[in-house]
Structure 1
Amino acid sequence: MDIRFYNEIESNPIIAAVKDMEGLHKAVKIDSIRIIFILFGDVCNISNIVNEIKEHNKVAMVHIDLIGGLSSKDISVDFIKQNTKADGIITTKPNLIKRAKELSLYTVLRFFLIDSMALENVFKSQNNVNPDVIEILPGVMPKIIKKISKKVKCPLIAGGLICDKEDIMDALSSGAVCVSSTNQDTWVM
């Protein structure tokens, strides 16, 4: 993993995940927030959204699966690289991780853990595409976080349903290097 991305993760274990402009405006003003996950936008405004983050000298990670007008094809990663100043992407699609790594973007491979088959997929996919970081959702499963963090070769982010300091501390003490949350109250804990 790129040392700057890892250093930013280590500098504050809270990642602001923003789902609208109001959240974006709040997140960029919080000095301790170093990484922002962009969970909204479309091909017409994503460049402006990323620019606002970059103007505040923060790492901008685009959840490419959630950007209107983009597909699950590799060309979507090329679009983000060529038309924005984004530092990296978040996706559930291994093919997009591979392409992003070819383009020297930071990569977060996101998994929704709904059953034991989904859990097994974490181990298989991680070894095949080697993302910089894995994010698991929901992030309020200390026992599962511990199991995954012992088996994977890259840092682990816990996201989803993170509501308070206890959730954050449980995730971190179980092996996650940081948490991502859209809950604005957690951004300043």
Structure 2
Amino acid sequence: MKRSKRFGVEHPVIAAIRGEDGIDRLDESLVTHCFLLCGDINTLPGLVQRVRAKGKRVFLHLDLAKGFGNDRAALAYIKRELEPDGVVSTRTHLLKNAREEGLTAVQRLFIPDSMSVETGRHLLKQSKADAVEVMPGVVPAWVYQTLRRDIQIPIVAGGLLHQPDDVRRALEAGADAVSVSNQALWNQDF
């Protein structure tokens, strides 16, 4: 199975954290990376610090973080005050600006049909993201192969991965890692 040195994923499972209970469970997990899918401008400094104190890399999901604008000033504030390792977003312009601010950028793509694969390829060329999260993670292998043809960045499968077999299939299909909120999968050996 491939591991991405550029994205730094040693364990192929990324914790998708939806609440503080997920942060509490990080101590007993093998994950090295977390996508923080909760919080607001007031709570995020503490949440990011808690994740980092556990020795995990933390990526802030910009589309789900409340209280921030959709502009360069918000990204400069996030980098300076929250100090995440990176950000996740569906918004191409934010990711492009995030990279310019020195943040690792993960483009989240929703793939409901074959046309969205082509749209996703175009968006990735624009954002120049460091990694892509493909949702749902249960897409056919040809989706990963098509994306990988043009881009040489890590592919993370996310969404609808509930069982160990779901994760295995995504990794076998071409994903470098998976993001899951199901804490029972965080310590599985894949």
Q: Where does residue 176 of structure 1 map in the other structure?
A: 175
Q: Where does residue 92 of structure 1 map in the other structure?
A: 90
SS in 1 for 2:106: strand
1:111 paired with 2:109, answer yes
TM-score (norm 2): 0.91
- How big is the alpha-carbon RMSD for the aligned residues of Structure 1 and Structure 2? 1.6
Q: 1 or 2, which has the higher helix percentage?
A: 1
Whichever residue aligns with residue 33 of structure 1, its letter is V
1:25-82 deviations in Å (ceiling 9; x for gaps) = 11x2134110010000000010100000111121010001101111322222112112
Q: Where does residue 51 of structure 1 map in the other structure?
A: 49
Q: Where does residue 157 of structure 1 map in the other structure?
A: 156
1:140-165 deviations in Å (ceiling 9; x for gaps) = 11332333233422110000011111
Q: Where does residue 28 of structure 2 map in the other structure?
A: 30
The answer on whether the counterparts of 2:95 and 2:107 sit within 8 Å (CA) in structure 1 is yes
1: CA distance, partners of 2:7 / 2:37: 21
Whichever residue aligns with residue 106 of structure 2, its letter is V
The answer on whether the counterparts of 1:142 and 1:170 sit within 8 Å (CA) in structure 2 is no
Alignment equivalent of 2:67, drawn from 69, 73, 94: 69
Question: 1:4: Cα distance to partner?
Answer: 6.9
1:108-161 deviations in Å (ceiling 9; x for gaps) = 000111223321111101112211100010001133233323342211000001
- Structure 1: state its 5+ residue gaps: none
2: CA distance, partners of 1:146 / 1:164: 23
SS in 1 for 2:7: helix
Alignment equivalent of 1:40, drawn from 38, 41, 60: 38
Whichever residue aligns with residue 131 of structure 2, its letter is V
- Structure 2: state its 5+ residue gaps: none
Q: Where does residue 130 of structure 1 map in the other structure?
A: 128
2: CA distance, partners of 1:107 / 1:188: 25
SS in 1 for 2:28: coil
Larger RCO, structure (CA 8 Å, separation 6 or more): 2
1: CA distance, partners of 2:28 / 2:145: 30
Q: 1:145 to 1:106 in 2, by over 3 A?
A: same
1:15 paired with 2:18, answer no
1: CA distance, partners of 2:128 / 2:19: 30
Q: 1:5 to 1:47 in 2, by over 3 A?
A: farther
1: CA distance, partners of 2:128 / 2:96: 8
Q: Where does residue 185 of structure 1 map in the other structure?
A: 184
